[in-house]
Structure 1
C-alpha cells in the first residue's frame, strides 16, 4: 500500500466521498493545499466501451477557451522546415528529425505532419504511436495548413485518447488558474468528449468522472454533468 502524506490525507478528506457538480468539484480542488509547483489539472474518465473494438475507439481534441497553461513544444514533419519554423514550430524537418527520433529523441509535445511527409513519418510509428505523438488527420495534426495547426496547438488545443483499459484523461489547465477558468475549460472538455462518443455505443458511455491535479486526490464528479 502506498503511504500518503498528511497533506494528501487532509485534501482527500476535504474533497469528500460524494459526487459533486462540476462547479463544486472545482471549488473542492481549489480548497486543497497546493504543491510547491504549478500542478496540472485534469478530468479523468472511465468509459463503458470495449477498447478491443476499433469502432469503439475514443479520441479527439478540444480547444480550451483559457488554454492549457502548458508551453507546448511543436515538431513539424515537412520538407519546408524554414516555413514551419517561421510559423512558430519549435522543431521542423523530415529525414533529419526522423533520424533523431529513431535515435531516442522525443523532446516535443505535439507532432504535426504535412500530407506529403506522412509516407516517411510512418517509419517512426512504433516510437510515436505508443506515446500518443503520431500525427493523425482526425486530430488535425496531418495538414497542409501548418501555420494554422501550430497556432491552434499553441493556443490551447489539447488531444486525448482512450487507453487499453477504457480510461481517458483530458488536461484542463493548471492549479494557478482561477476557478472560473478551470470551470470553463472543464465544460469544454466534457462537451468534446460527449461529441466523441462512438456511434456503436447506444447506451451508457461514461461510468465515472473525477477531477484532480498532479498531487491531489480525485474529486468525484456527478454523472449528471455528462448527461448520464
Structure 2
C-alpha cells in the first residue's frame, strides 16, 4: 500500500538526518499528525541494557505533569470497607468478587487495576488473563497498596508505568497530539529524566542510545539523547 498524500507530506517535514531537541520534536509531531482522531504521542527509547539480566531490568513509574490526555478506566478490587474511598477517588469500577468473576469470564475492559495486599491472593488464578494485557497489579508500580484512594487519584492524574521490553526499548504514551507543544515536551522531559535516574550501575556503554517521538501513524522523529 502506497503512502497517502498526507503521509508523504508528513515524511517530507521530518529530516531523516537531523537529531531534534525535545522541544523541536514536540512542535513537529503536532505538524505531522494528520489523523481524524486525537492521536496519542509516544516515545520509544532504546537503552543500552540487556533486559535478560535481572540487574539491568529498567522499570518504573512516572507522573506526567500534564497528564496522559486519556480517560484512564480504573478498576479498584477492594474489600467492602474501602469501596466508598475508591469511588470517591474516581475509580470507574469498584468491587471484588463480582469483578473477579467477570474477569474469569473474559472481561478486561479497563486500563488499570488497583488492589490491596490482602486481595492479591485472589488475583493469582487470573494471571493468565491479566498478565498478557499488562493489567496485573504490582506493588512495584504502586497498584497494590493499602492506600487505594491515593493510587486511584495518581493514575487518574497521569501516573504511568513503563518497563524495557526484551529488545531493550521502553515505549510510553506521553500525551495527545492536541496538547500544546510545551505540554508534550514537559511530559517527554519528565519521562526521560526518570529513565536517566534508573540507569543500572551494571549497564555498559551508552545508556540512552536513541529516542524517537511519533504519533499514531506518523513517521518517527529522532531526538538527540544529548539534549535530554
Matches of residues 79-90 of structure 1 in structure 2 within 5 Å? 79-80=79-80, 82-83=83-84, 84-90=86-92
The CA RMSD measured in Å over matched residues stands at 1.6
Q: 3-state DSSP class of the match of 2:9?
A: helix
Separation of aligned partners in 1, 2:13 and 2:43: 18
Q: Which residue of 2 aligns with 1:9?
A: 8
Q: Which residue of 2 aligns with 1:65?
A: 65
Separation of aligned partners in 2, 1:126 and 1:55: 26
Separation of aligned partners in 2, 1:33 and 1:149: 33
Conserved 8 A contact 1:34-1:175: no
The TM-score normalised by the length of structure 2 is: 0.92
Q: Which residue of 2 aligns with 1:219?
A: 221
The number of residue pairs the alignment matches comes to 225
| Per-residue deviation, 1:92 | 2.1
Q: 3-state DSSP class of the match of 2:131?
A: helix
Separation of aligned partners in 1, 2:26 and 2:225: 15
| Per-residue deviation, 1:150 | 0.5
Conserved 8 A contact 2:33-2:215: no
Deviations 1:95-145 (A, max 9, x none): 322221121111000111101111111221222122211111111111010
Conserved 8 A contact 1:78-1:113: yes
**2:126 pairs with 1:124:** yes
The TM-score normalised by the length of structure 1 is: 0.92
Separation of aligned partners in 1, 2:95 and 2:146: 14
Separation of aligned partners in 1, 2:158 and 2:183: 13
Separation of aligned partners in 1, 2:89 and 2:45: 35
- Aligned match of 1:108 in 92, 107, 110? 110
